[in-house]
Amino acid sequence: MSDSNDWTAAEGRPAEGVITLRLLTEADLPAYKALRDAMLARHEQAFTSDAETERAREASSYRVRLHPQAGGKSLFTLGAWSGERLVGALTCEHENRKKVMHVAHLIGMMVDDEVRGRGIGKRLLRQALALLRREPRLETVTLSVTAGNQAAIALYRQAGFTRYGHLPRALRLSDGRYYAKDLMSLDLRP
C-alpha cells in the first residue's frame, strides 16, 4: 500500500475509551506479538498457527506483515489501539504472481477478549476493505474462518462476503479435535 500510511481513525464513546485504528510500524511489533500470542493461546481453534510455535518467534519476525517492502506478501497490518494498548489487528496479504495479482487475503483477524462486542472487528474490517479498494489492481479479497464461529461469519456476511467453499478437518488441534474452515470472498469492484 503506497499511500496508506498517512491516516488514523479514532472512534468511541468517552465512557468506553477511544479506539484508534492505524497501520502498524516496526515499533509496534512487540505489542503485536503479545496480542497474537495471547489470542493463539486462548482461541487455538480460530487460527491456523499454533501458540507454541509462534511463542518461540521473535517479535521482529513479524516485520514481513507490515508492508510489501518488508519482504513478505503482506500489504499491511492494521491495528486497533486503546490508548497505548494494541487490542486488535488484521493483516492483508497479496501475491505477486501475475495470474493472481488481483486477489488479496485477509488473515489473522483478532480482537482482545476484554474489548469484544464494541465493534472493533467491524471497524478493522471496514477500514481494511477501504484500503484495499484504493488499490486499482485488486478485485477480490478472500478469508477463511472457523466454521461455527457465528459471530465472525455474521460480521463477514454483513460486509458482503459469501462462502465459496468449506474445508472439513482443516485444523487438527494437539488434543486430536478437528475444526472445519469456511472459505469466503468479496468482490471489491461490484
- Whether residue 89 lies inside any domain: the answer is yes
* C-alpha cell recorded at residue 22: 492505524
**pLDDT digits over 106-158, tens only?**
999 999 999 999 999 999 999 999 999 999 999 999 999 999 999 999 999 99
- Whether residue 128 lies inside any domain: the answer is yes
- Whether residue 42 lies inside any domain: the answer is yes
* C-alpha cell recorded at residue 66: 507490515
- Whether residue 32 lies inside any domain: the answer is yes
- Whether residue 145 lies inside any domain: the answer is no
Predicted structure pTM score: 0.88
**pLDDT digits over 146-177, tens only?**
999 999 999 999 999 999 999 999 999 989 99
Which structural domain, as residue segments, surrounds residue 103? 10-136
- Whether residue 109 lies inside any domain: the answer is yes
CA distance 51 to 44: 7
Phi, psi for residue 148 in degrees, rounded to 5: 100, -15
Q: How many domains does the chain have?
A: 1
CATH code of the domain covering residue 58: 3.40.630.30
- Whether residue 21 lies inside any domain: the answer is yes
Q: Within the chain, where are the H helices?
A: 29-42, 51-55, 120-133, 150-158
Q: Looking at the chain, how many residues does it have?
A: 190
With cell 469466503, the residue in question is: 184
- Whether residue 41 lies inside any domain: the answer is yes
